[in-house]
Amino acid sequence: MSASSSSPEPKPSMAFAAFLKRLHFYIGVFVGPFMLVATLSGVVYALTPQIEDSLYAHALHTDSRGSAMSLQAQIQRAQASAGPGLSVAAVRPAPREGDTTRVMFSDPGFGPSEHRALFVDPVSGEIRGDMKVYGTSGVLPLRTWIDQFHRGLLLGDIGRIYSELAASWLWVAALGGLVLWAVRRRRQSRERGNVRRWHATTGVWLLLGLLFFSATGLTWSQYAGDNIGVLRAYYGWSTPSVATSLGKSAAMPMPVGEHAEHHIHMAPMAQASMVDAALFDSILASARGAHIDAAKVEIRPSTSSDKAWVVSEIDRNWPTQVDAVSIDPQTLEVVDHVRFSEYSLPAKLTRWGIDAHMGVLFGLANQLVLVVFASGLAVMVVMGYVMWWRRRPTLSLARNQQATLLNLWRSLTPGAQWALILAALSIGFALPVLGVSLLGFIILDSLLGYRKAVSRCVEGKV
């Protein structure tokens, strides 16, 4: 006895909506928890700038006022405090009066992309903080923990599958929900005030935000993100980087990703330990002369004698200031200059999308919008579980005779069947986690359908 012979099959005109409804149900039940965790941790992450500014106020700010010491003097104070054997990986001069200078060191005891940061009072030279920071963005400990939990549940690369699963299915759930909402409106449903109606209406209002979360979240993902990177590189949409090679053998600059702060390693210790602290002032002056005029900049020493130093703007608020120059430390001449205004439109949109996803593009307004949309998604997930609980399977099989995904697929026209197959294969290839989980849904759904059919056969109902 096959499961297909005992499950009701709708007419072809309604089979697609029924198929979406069944798939929407599986997304909600099995992917919903991951969406909920990603959403709630994302809300906390969006609120961390103000929290960190208060929590680490002593390290980030100072009451000292007056003429600032040279970068050389500040770096030497940091080196003396850090002790021998550590190399300067990057320096971020105090952007404003009352802020501290951040000197980041490579530490052999730290993990990938982690650095030891000393926060120096630019006026008095006092070391006001000493803590671990993450990535070239220099994320502080609190946000590092939240960020790693949000992306991978603190489980490393294996944990990143959870967030990729959530991002991969979010756009499918959002668009599928929109279709189901439209079908119900066309049927002129008169339901008022029930959970289903609120769930659907909330989804429609949040649609654009959910699609944005999904698209930008996928650029961070482990497998789909790599595919997106390949696609962008193929079409020349990658973010350009400055060339750093000196001499006739200079190589072409390589594009970098907007998430480079999560995995780029800074200067190796053996080479960076030879950096002359006095060069930082001259390099910064040269960069200022080349119109690197943002208040927030980062100076990275070269990794070898045949490489240039890099000075980058790191202000990702609006208007975005992320220009970068490479400078020959011997001649102080500009080797290469990359301007954000010259980025391709896709590269600009990607940069803005990532920064908006992180809540930094428009400051507090950006954070509040993220909180509203993320909270709305969390409420939708909860409402979805409330609906499932009210209509959950019971011992009575009569209430649980929905057609399986395969049965519904068979009810479609041949053209629609092939369209679904091609779409599933294409999307599954581009988004591997979605593809594997979709296969799991189909297998589970078929097993459940077969079990129901066997049970009805045993009971003499077939």
Averaged pLDDT, groups of 10, the chain, 462 residues long: 46 82 95 96 92 95 94 96 91 96 91 91 97 84 94 92 97 96 73 78 95 94 93 88 77 54 42 72 97 96 91 94 96 96 94 93 94 95 91 53 84 93 96 96 89 71 52
pLDDT on residue 243: 94
pLDDT on residue 247: 74
Give the CA dihedral 38, 39, 40, 43, nearest 10 degrees.
120
pLDDT on residue 119: 98
Nearest to 88 by CA among 67, 99, 102: 102
pLDDT on residue 146: 95
What is the Cα–Cα distance from 151 to 263, expressed in whole angstroms? 13
One-letter amino acid identity for 272? A
Task: Read off the DSSP letter of residue 31.
Answer: I
- To the nearest whole percent, how much of the chain has pLDDT over 90? 70
pLDDT on residue 396: 47
pLDDT on residue 8: 52
pLDDT on residue 234: 87
The b/e string for 306-320 (b: 16+ C-beta within 10 A; e otherwise) is ebbbbbbbbbbeeeb
pLDDT on residue 196: 87
pLDDT on residue 263: 46
Q: Which two tokens stand for residue 320?
A: 């975005």
pLDDT on residue 266: 43
Q: Please give the model's pTM, rounded to 2 decimal places.
A: 0.86
What is the Cα–Cα distance from 31 to 440, expressed in whole angstroms? 12
pLDDT on residue 339: 96
Burial zone of 158 (CB within 10 Å; 0-12 exposed, 13-18 middle, 19+ buried) = exposed
